[in-house]
Amino acid sequence: MADDNKLQIPRVKLGIQGLEVSKLGYGCMGLTGVYNSPVSDEEGISLIKYAFSKGITFFDTADMYGAHSNEILVGKALKQLPREKVQLATKFGIAGMGNSGMIVKGTPEYVRSCCEGSLKRLDVDYIDLYYQHRIDTSVPIEDTMGELKKLVEEGKIKYIGLSEASPDTIRRAHAVHPITALQMEWSLWTRDIEEEIVPLWN
């Protein structure tokens, strides 16, 4: 009988700033119910710990998942894992849902308040990878990135990521501070990022 503990998940570098993660990450959104019913804290913590035991060290959450409850659950699980061996990603930028869709915010004040809130809910001293979940086109990306850069300098976040950003936004953001990761759909059904985003990233 094969020993499944021998399975080794490869590690990869994101960006060129030094962040190394397990090639397979664990998206925690479903633990607090989005496309399904939420699981109990006990079950959610158990799932995260099991993933870690199999070599997954990269865990992804966001402040808007489960109206903050997802970060709280992930934080509880992290207390039972060696923090220095975990790469934690979370996100800010979606302030809620309105009649016309997502309410997106990216002001410097909002960036800081979201980061402070996530640190408290996750009960950690720093966030490894902090994404802007959606781009606030009413705020210059330079202003948003300027505050994120300050948070890096303060040690509250280590690396910065963008989600669903245009090529121009990526260029302008990267000019303020290096962007370590992009989170965008890339699949057999959605290939359009191959036209501009992938060449830009390379």
Give the sign of the dihedral formed by CA 25, CA 29, CA 35, CA 39: positive
Give the sign of the dihedral formed by CA 15, CA 19, CA 22, CA 25: negative
Inform me whether the pLDDT recorded for 48 exceeds 90: yes
Residue 140 lies in a domain: yes
Residue 161 lies in a domain: yes
Domain of 94 in residue numbering reads as: 16-201
Give CA–CA dist 109/189, Å, rounded.
Answer: 37
Lowest-confidence pick of 6-10, 118-122, 132-136, 178-182:
6-10
Residue 34 lies in a domain: yes
Residues 44, 78 contacting (CB under 8 angstroms): no
Give CA–CA dist 38/125, Å, rounded.
Answer: 27
Reported confidence tier of residue 1, pLDDT bands at 50, 70, 90: very low
Could you report the per-residue pLDDT of 69-126, keeping only the tens digit for each?
Answer: 999 999 999 999 999 999 999 999 999 888 888 899 999 999 999 999 999 999 999 9
- Strands of 93-144, DSSP E: 94-98, 101-104, 127-132
Strands 157-163 and 26-27 turn out to be unpaired
Residue 6 lies in a domain: no
Residue 3 lies in a domain: no
Active-site residue flag, 35: no
Residues 93, 134 contacting (CB under 8 angstroms): yes
Shortest CA distance to 6 belongs to which of 39, 54, 63?
A: 54
- The number of domains in the chain is 1
Residue 163 lies in a domain: yes
Reported confidence tier of residue 3, pLDDT bands at 50, 70, 90: low
- CATH number assigned to the domain comprising residue 119: 3.20.20.100
Whole-prediction pTM: 0.92
Would you state the structure tokens that stand for residue 45, as one six-digit string?
């913590």
Give CA–CA dist 147/109, Å, rounded.
Answer: 8
Residue 5: predicted pLDDT:
57
Can you spell out the DSSP letters for 148-193?
A: HHHHHHTTSEEEEEEES--HHHHHHHHHHS---EEE---SSS--GG
Catalytic residue among 26, 35, 50, 65: 65
Inform me whether the pLDDT recorded for 29 exceeds 80: yes
Give the sign of the dihedral formed by CA 165, CA 110, CA 126, CA 48: negative
Give CA–CA dist 23/13, Å, rounded.
Answer: 9
Q: Position of tokens 């800010």? A: 92
Would you state the structure tokens that stand for residue 52, as one six-digit string?
């870690």
